[in-house]
Structure 1
Amino acid sequence: MALDLSSLEMVALLETPTGFAFFHVYENLCKGPKNLWSWFINDEVADNVIFLLEFIKFEDKSVAWKSGGPGLLLTRAIKKYCGKSIQLIVGDVELRGVIKSNLNVKCFENEDVIFELMWGLKHVLSYYVRQERGNITLEYRLPLSQGLKDCMSKYEVIIPTEAIDRTFVGCASALHRCDVLLEHYRKRLPEICEPFLPGIREIVNGDIPYAEVVAKILTPDRVQDCNPFEGLSDDVVKKIKDVAANNAGKKVDRAKHRLIYGIARDVRKFPGYRTDLLQTLKSLADKRSGRQKRSQTEILNGQAAKMDTVLVLMLMVYA
């Protein structure tokens, strides 16, 4: 099936060990650098935000940087993929200058986003360009993503740079996504439920109790094994029931019914996932650093990697 070039949003040019690779990049990915790194743990996740356009092998890559550059092969590819409205993302500042000067191509200039994107593309390159699988070294994948470093700092995880592998990055991404989702849900659930149950958020303290209460009232057919009023004071329970009774005529449509139940369920479950992921991440760091000779991390690795994909896709659904 022929590629529809009119559907391209942004194009990234990545220098590889033996050539150059062109990737299509969805524009939303480049709005900011904060969470960008977490999309690049494997091809299954990265496929949601990029896809390979072309790989060009070079005998001598230096031609791209010469004054008359970037050379015939790159020039043809750039002109093919980058129309008047398509921005080209180039990691190397000097090469970017050559392309802008000689080809009059519009280039993306947010250096923080470019840095994170280039790290991500290098991290998943072997999935997309098989010819480079034996050529990717630790030095090629460095320096480390700033977003990943910030994540490690946040969770107080210490691990040598050379010991960071795909399993570790996948687990870190899953944990990061879990926190992103929880933060999103804390804001989103009241936004959806307040029109049906005004004031409940101020009555019920805590994210999990609130999620349980609104799910029980608004999606009772799906929440049958939960008593959200257990542990609440009689006064709070009365206020909740009064609000529910006064707004009983407001009907929840099918789409919101499904959304409320799904988010409330995840607000209850994700703190447990987060605890498991954090423990796994720290165990991985200890093992990779030689601080832990024997562990059960292998048992948890598959669970963490699988959970990562689920969390990323869920973020796309609910965001």
Structure 2
Amino acid sequence: MDEQAALPAPAMDENKEAIPSMAPPGKEDGMALRSDAVAPPGKKDEMALRSDADAEMWKVNPVAMLGNGGVILVLFETPSGFALFSYDGLKLFQPDAIHNIWGEFVKDFMRPVWLKDFKPFKDKASALNLDTGVNKDLASMIGNVISPDQKLAVGKREYKIIIEHYLGISCLYSDEVMELMWGLQNLMPHYLPKEVSKMTKDDCLPMCKGIMFLLNSYGFDVKPEMVNENIIEMACLVLECDFNVKKHAKELHYAGELLKAISEIDFEDWDLLKLATALMIVGYPKGEQIVAGNLQKLFGDDYSTLVKDAPKYKDKLREVACFRVYEEMLWARKLRFKGLKRLATLARMAREDYETEQAMRNPGEIPEV
């Protein structure tokens, strides 16, 4: 078992993808993601529903359902044409993908996708058309890159219908896919810098749901049009801090079962940091490692029980692993606290700028906030 996981716990999921961001050296992260059903081609008014068996297979073995080792192709529309990217489609299927996908598309060094091809089209409307199908050049572009049985993610439902009907390529279209499209647009200055200057307001996708969910969950009443680059970057920091705590949930809860079995302590209502702290108390009863906070106030009567029962946990926990998990979680919580303070300032400044802009556009009117 990985030394960083609290024991006795199952092994950490080695398939989780690392986010090369602000995590401290030696700490690996993983971002959880999924995809929804899409309507079959050419069938009007039919709900995009899979059979129960099919839906279960997507949950159990998305690699097999996606094909090509889970790597999908993404058709991304730009102001002047279309680009093709390859992407780890499994991220679309992970839990809470709708809330997390955007976090990989904040800075260009993250590089969550690979640009495979780009082609400008004089008449994009004719490239993908419900009546005429797929333009020859676009069909050739897709055909030259896509692998057999590989899925193609698209940014419009009509594109899915057209491509599946005329090219016979299975497409993905869902809220999760749209979060991916927002991310590609956010990193367009890195992948397709010449396209940025051609963008108009109509080309811009709506603010992604993941960012708005995070802001709302922390009580920031921010309109999508108020969100700027600084807010996105700070929200990404908060997201990653949260992840550095949540990624240890399975191992901590598994180890926490010892608290029930040995000390008859119910930890179900505790947050993860409190649980990690309890494991530190029984792992280091003589204070070999410093544990932050007022422990008697935090645990109440359970504190004396933990101290008294500490010898009973010997050889049942890996103390070093417990310490490393606790240290990382404590670091993440402290950094998140600073990030949220900065985010509050940025949100306030963005609101003030928005209200000023609204007042200048509509003199004499009270801006709606």
Q: Which bin holds the TM-score, normalised by the shorter protein?
A: 0.7 to 0.9
CA-to-partner distance for each residue in 1:171-193, whole Å, 9 max, x for gaps?
12222333344344355323246
Tell which deviates more after alignment, 116-125 or 209-218.
209-218
> Cα distance, 1:241 vs. partner?
4.1
Q: Classify the secondary structure of the residue corresponding to 1:51.
A: strand
Aligned identity (percent) is 21
Kept after mapping to 1: 8 A contact 2:83/2:118: yes
Task: State yes or no: 1:21 paired with 2:86.
Answer: no
Q: Name the stretch that deviates more: 163-172 or 197-206.
A: 197-206
Aligned residue in 2 for 1:104: 168
Partner of 2:280: 215
Q: Could you state the TM-score of these two structures normalised by the residue count of structure 2?
A: 0.65
Question: Residue 60 and residue 222 in structure 1: after superposition, are their counterparts in 2 closer, same or farther (change >3 A)?
Answer: farther
Q: 1:133 to 1:213 in 2, by over 3 A?
A: same
- Unpaired stretches in structure 1, ≥5 consecutive residues: 293-319
Aligned residue in 2 for 1:245: 311
Distance in structure 1 (CA, Å) of the matches to 2:201 and 2:284: 51
TM-score, normalised to structure 1's length?
0.74
On the 8 A contact 2:160/2:172 being kept in 1, the answer is no
The alignment covers a number of residue pairs equal to 282
The answer for the alignment partner of 1:268 in structure 2 is 330
Q: 1:91 Cα deviation (Å)? A: 1.0
Q: Which has the higher helix share?
A: 1
Please state how far the C-alpha of 1:229 moved relative to its aligned partner.
8.5
Q: How many angstroms does 1:70 deviate by?
A: 2.1
Aligned CA-pair RMSD:
3.5
Alignment of 1:1-319 (within 5 A): 9-31=71-93, 32-45=97-110, 47=111, 49-66=112-129, 67-109=131-173, 111-192=174-255, 194=257, 198-199=261-262, 202=265, 207-215=272-280, 217-218=282-283, 224-226=289-291, 231=296, 236-250=302-316, 252=318, 257-258=320-321, 260-290=322-352
Compared CA separation, residues 153 and 22, structure 1 to 2 (3 A): same
Query: Secondary structure of the residue that 2:187 maps to in structure 1?
Result: helix
Structure 2 SS opposite 1:33: helix
Look up the equivalent residue of 1:290 and give its one-letter code. Answer: E
Give unpaired runs (5+ residues) of structure 2.
Answer: 1-66, 355-369
In the superposition, relative to structure 1, how do residues 56 and 237 fare at CA in structure 2: closer, same or farther (>3 Å)?
A: same
Query: Which secondary structure state, in structure 1, belongs to the residue aligned with residue 134 of structure 2?
Result: coil
1:85/1:231 CA distance change after superposition, 3 Å: same
Deviates more, 1:83-92 or 1:135-144: 135-144
In 1, the alpha carbon distance for the partners of 2:166 and 2:154 equals 14
Question: Which deviates more, 137-146 or 91-100?
Answer: 137-146
Between the aligned partners of 1:43 and 1:65, the Cα distance in structure 2 is 29
- What amino acid maps onto 1:243 in structure 2? D
SS of the residue aligned with 1:35?
helix
Please tell me whether the aligned partners of residues 281 and 310 of structure 2 are also in contact (alpha carbons under 8 angstroms): no
